[in-house]
Structure 1
Amino acid sequence: MKIKVLGSSAGGGFPQWNCNCPNCDGVRRGTLKATRRTQSSIAVSANGEDWLLVNASPDLLAQIAATPELQPARRIRDSGIAAVLVMDAQIDHVTGLLMLRERDTPLPLYTTDAVWQDLRTSFPVGPILSHYCGVDHRSIALDGTPITHAALPGVQIGVLPLLSKAPPYSPHREAPERGDNIGLVITSQQSGKRVFYAPGLGAIEPHVLAAMRSADLLLVDGTLWTGHEMIRLGLSKKSAADMGHLPQSGPGGMIEVLDSLGTRTVRKVLIHINNTNPILVEDGPERSVLSEHGIEVASDGMTFEL
């Protein structure tokens, strides 16, 4: 089983188009040791040719262009993207669906019922695509039934409801529904290896901690270093918790959670990194702290084989 990181940034990418925070300004000027990133998405494959796209970012076309595996060129019009699964209805995870409108068959799309409601009403991607390729919607059950797809033989995807926030345009933004946001446990039946993927993680519930403890690779929320990072920089009035994210540092933060998993060999990787997060600075003190704790920072193009 292969996991490919197509995009490793939070919404807006890095540098963000209108941001002049120290990170964005520094990477533009070349005065900061940091790498540009596109918005968060991964792809999963059993054979290296057919892929499940997990989240479709606004940067999808650039990500496809940077990933030759996604264009196997088996016929005059072709794509390695066999299906798409979106974990929430956030703009940075669903806008790229519109870029797949030239398909000659309906797009297989996995979502929870709560997300599909938003994609048919508040952010009507479904109705828009009905005028182009159409959507073959496949509802994600929240009863523990794993997802399988014919193009990914030997791969099972378990689904975990998470405590987080629906998008600002969702009618249940302030009244969360089960399925607004999910985490995934992706298992290779051949190797028995497991990946836990959760780019948006607002709280560590018991079932989430159990999934993390059983995984061989963790790709988890790396959005913000501190809870009030955006407020301190004058870029937002919202804390990490307000946005549905667990910060890395401080009591109860992601570093502490990852440290609690014990000494079992597991690869720990932060993904969905906001442009303000100091861990983007490759020779900065925050990156050193992560290294001391055995934690990596995802970058676009990163590939894992399990």
Structure 2
Amino acid sequence: MQIRILGSGAGGGFPQWNCSCPNCKALRAGTIKATARNQSSIAVSSDGEHWALFNASPDVRAQLESFPEIHPKNKVRGTGIEAIVMFDSQIDHATGLLILREGDPLTIYCTEMVRQDLTTGFPIFNILEHFCGVKDHTIPLNGDAFIIPNIQDLEFTALPLKSKAPPYSPHRNDPHEGDNIGMIIRQISTGKTTFYAPGLGKIEAHVEQAMKDADCVLVDGTFWSDDELASVGRPLLARKIGHLPQSGKGGMIEFLDTLEKPRKILIHINNTNPILNEESEERDILTQHGIEVSYDTMNIEL
């Protein structure tokens, strides 16, 4: 199994265009040991030629340009992307679909709730019908695995996660199963599995089991602390907006410490998170706990 980190940042990327928090300011000034990050997305393959794209961030064009394995080969137009798998309908995961309009119909896998959002409150699917078109497939939420044609030797199992639909969604204040999912990616020939969840606010029993069984967990690293956004004048708590912070009682570090089997990697890192500073105390704490921080262009092989 091959995994390419196309983008490791949260919404807005790093540095965020309108932010002068300590991290963003220092990165621009060159006074911090840190790396710029695009908004989160990964690609997965078993053979290095045929890929599933997980989410489509607004940075997707630059992400794909930096990834030769997905470029057209032996013809004028083409792509190594066989399908796009949507984990939610958040703007920072869906807007990139519009950038991919110059070609054949997009094959998209998503839950019914995501499909509803992307045809009503944020009608990207409707817009794309006037350009390339969409072939959408419903992701099952009953624990059944599904396969994607031409993605050989991989199967995918979605896990519904506790979450809210995006602010624009017609059912924003009426959460439904399928608003947000995690994914078990299993290589059939080897049995190796990765659990991927860029947005994870609560570790429920079925999620805990999936993470314990996985060979690699690639999970929500948005915030270090629950009240982190207060530093930029936003009185929002991490848990309230669907992200489990790393530090504190019941945080991501405490849970990941209970896992013995998997490689542990954080993704979807907000520009305010001190772990972006590679020389910070917070980054040292992660290292001591055996937790990695993903970066753009990172390659993971299982």
TM-score, structure 2 normalization: 0.99
Find 2:295's aligned residue among 293, 299, 304: 299
Amino acid at match of 2:249: P
Task: Name the CA distance, whole Å, in 1 between partners of 2:69 and 2:235.
Answer: 41
Distance 1:235 1:66, change over 3 A: farther
* Matching residue of 2:100: 100
Counterpart mapping for 1:63-102 below 5 A: 63-102=63-102
CA-based RMSD: 0.8
Query: 2: CA distance between counterparts of 1:20 and 1:221?
Result: 23
Q: Aligned partners of 1:243 and 1:236: how far apart in 2?
A: 12
Deviations, residues 128-183 of structure 1 (Å, cap 9, x unaligned): 00000100010111111212012211100011000012100012212110000000
Please say if residues 49 and 72 of structure 1, whose CA atoms lie closer than 8 Å, have aligned partners that are also in contact. no
- Counterpart pick for 2:253 among 231, 244, 255: 255
Q: Which amino acid aligns with 2:204?
A: E
Instruction: Give, in whole Å, the separation in 1 of the partners of 2:65 and 2:23.
Output: 26
What SS does the aligned partner of 1:120 have?
Answer: coil
TM-score with structure 1 setting the length: 0.97
Structure 2 unaligned runs (5+)?
none
2:52 and 2:13 map into 1 onto residues whose CA distance is 22
Other-structure match for 2:237: 239
Question: Residue in 1 aligned with 2:119?
Answer: 120
Identity within the alignment, %: 56
Query: How far apart are the structure 2 equivalents of 1:151 and 1:284?
Result: 43
Residues 238-247 or 144-153, more deviating: 144-153
Matched residue SS, 1:201: coil
Corresponding residue for 1:189? Answer: 188
1:151-162 correspondence runs (5 A): 151-162=150-161
Aligned to 2:62: 62
**Bigger shift: 63-72 or 233-242?**
233-242
Q: Which moved more, 1:245-254 or 1:140-149?
A: 140-149
1:39 aligned onto 2:42: no
2:139 corresponds in structure 1 to 140
| 2:272 equivalent to 1:276 | yes
Distance 2:33 2:281 in 1: 12
Note the alpha carbon deviations across 1:107-146, whole angstroms, 9 max, x for none. 1000100000000000010000000010001011111121
